[in-house]
Amino acid sequence: MFELRWIRDNGEEFDRGLRRRGLKALSAEILALDREWRAAQTRLEETRARQKRLAKEIGAARKSGEAIAGLQAEGAEAKEEESAAEAEAQRIKAAIDEILWGVPNLPAEDVPEGADESANRVLRRYGEPAAFDFPPESHERIGERLGLMDFARAARLSGSRFVVLKGALARLERALSAFMLDLHTREFGYLEISPPLLVRDEAAFGTGQLPKFGEDLFRTTGGHYLIPTAEVPLTNLVAGEILEESALPLRFVASTPCFRSEAGAAGRDTRGMIRQHQFLKVELVSITRPEDSEAEHERMTACAEEVLKRLELPYRVVVLSTGDMGFAAKKTYDIEVWLPSQGSYREISSCSDCGPFQALRMKARYRLEGGKGTRPVHTLNGSGLAIGRTLIAILENFQRRDGGLALPQALRPYLGGMEEIA
């Protein structure tokens, strides 16, 4: 979310950013409302000051036994004026909020401009896609052939976009979760968190899912939202707080189920477990000082990449174009893993620098050391990694001609020494 104060001083930059996102300029409309609001605010404060003064006079007069009827009449009149001024100020503020709450973050300068993913830019590649001397199978064929991946029963239980994993694959999923958590906590200094999976709407607003993207979320009868990513609870951990500068950066990691309605994805990735209503994901969140967020973004992406390196999976890193970025992001790196059956790279992680955008929504700030005043923190989030898709990548990249598959060395300690699935 953007501050009115910032838009006032940076109207052109604001509009330019919006246009880069393919949106229309808004500063003129917002600033006109802002001028109205400030005028209304000033009127409101003046009437309030007058009202307070009268109330005190009445108190003093009563004490000294003077007549107060005249003053009371004046007070009643002041009160009416105050109510009218307040209603006016509130009306204008509501109009401003409605616009502001729906404005996405502005892209960083170095984000390539474009309407969609075709404008994304590949930054680097790691590893070589294995050359198969047989036609590689898709993960769902491998999983079903092994009898360890059951879409039919999942559909009977829950409908489409669900899966049942069995035996070695269920174990593999658990191993991936433990492996990633260990890596991020032991080697990269993240604090492991086990957060709630159901959150209230304030939390979903803070990270930017609401008010615009409620359609993508599952909602309980009790009014909770199921988290679409642990980014929501992890980032909102600092909502409403004033942190000490010395406490930053904060780094959180959690492995959680994620729930997505996939409302706008009908017909896309309908086969296999690429796109599910429920999936496991290890999420990284950092809370930093403004001057540290860019470096933290690179660091976080490197942490996610390290998972793929250790799992011996070929990948590439792309920077998303202005048209492909999410609502809250100022810059996003996607990590895409090689999927032999599709002959292409598919997203397995998305690391975003949100700048102060989410912090302003959830009122998370920090106190400057030695100085005075507070500033909004910067927030970052990234998958490290999506576990369902990592499992897919392992099945496909490690498959053998005999129909079985080897397992990456790094995971074996988490699999009780299991070396292959056959």
Partner RNA sequence: GGAGGGGUGGCCGAGCGGUCUAAGGCGCACGCCUGGAGAGCGUGUAGACGGUGAUGAAUCGUCUCGCGGGUUCGAAUCCCGCCCCCUCCGCCA
Residue among 76 and 123 whose Cβ is closer to RNA: 76
Cβ 2 vs Cβ 64: under 8 Å: no
Q: What φ, ψ does residue 293 adopt, rounded to 5°?
A: -70, -35
Candidates 36, 74, 88, 347; catalytic one: 347
- Alpha-carbon span 154 to 143, nearest angstrom: 14
Nearer to RNA, 89 or 154 (CB): 89
Q: What is the DSSP letter of 399?
A: B
Is 275 labeled as catalytic in the residue annotation?
A: yes
Cβ nearer to RNA, comparing 4 with 23:
4
For residue 245, the minimal CB distance to RNA (Å) is: 12
**Which of 8, 43, 125, 275 is the catalytic position?**
275
Q: Taking the complex as a whole, how short is the minimal distance between the CB of residue 164 and RNA, in angstroms?
A: 22
Q: Cβ–Cβ contacts within 10 Å for residue 385, how many?
A: 28
The catalytically annotated residue of 138, 341, 350, 383 is 350
Residues that bind RNA (CB under 7 A): 3-5, 9, 38, 41-42, 44-46, 48-49, 51-52, 54-56, 58-60, 62-63, 72, 75-76, 78-79, 242, 365, 367, 372-374
Beta strands 121-126 and 374-376: pairing type? unpaired
Which residue among the candidates 21, 161, 365, 389 is catalytic per the annotation?
A: 389
DSSP 219-276: B-TTS-EE-SSTHHHHHHTTTT-EEEGGGPPEEEEEEEEEE---TT-TTSS-STTSS-
The C-alpha atoms of residue 214 and residue 218 are separated, in whole angstroms, by 8
Cβ at position 36, least distance to RNA in Å: 11
**Length of the chain counted residue by residue:** 422
The one catalytic residue among 141, 260, 299, 365: 260
CA separation for the pair 275, 271 (Å, rounded):
8
User: Cβ of residue 92: shortest distance to RNA, in angstroms?
Assistant: 12
C-alpha 155/C-alpha 163 separation (Å) is 7
Contact 108, 296 (CB under 8 A): no
**At which residue do the structure tokens 């990592």 appear?**
390
Tell me whether residue 349 is one of the annotated catalytic residues. Answer: no
Task: Provide, rounded to whole angstroms, the least separation between the CB of residue 234 and RNA.
Answer: 19
Q: Which is nearer to RNA, 77 or 182 (CB)?
A: 77
For residue 9, the minimal CB distance to RNA (Å) is 6
Question: CB-wise, 302 or 368, nearer to RNA?
Answer: 368
Residue 113's CB is within 10 A of a number of other CB atoms, namely: 13
Residue with smaller CB distance to RNA, 252 or 366: 366
260 is catalytic: yes
Q: Give CA separation, 24 vs 100, 213, 252, 326, in Å.
A: 13, 20, 36, 17
So which residues are the catalytic ones?
260, 275, 347, 350, 389
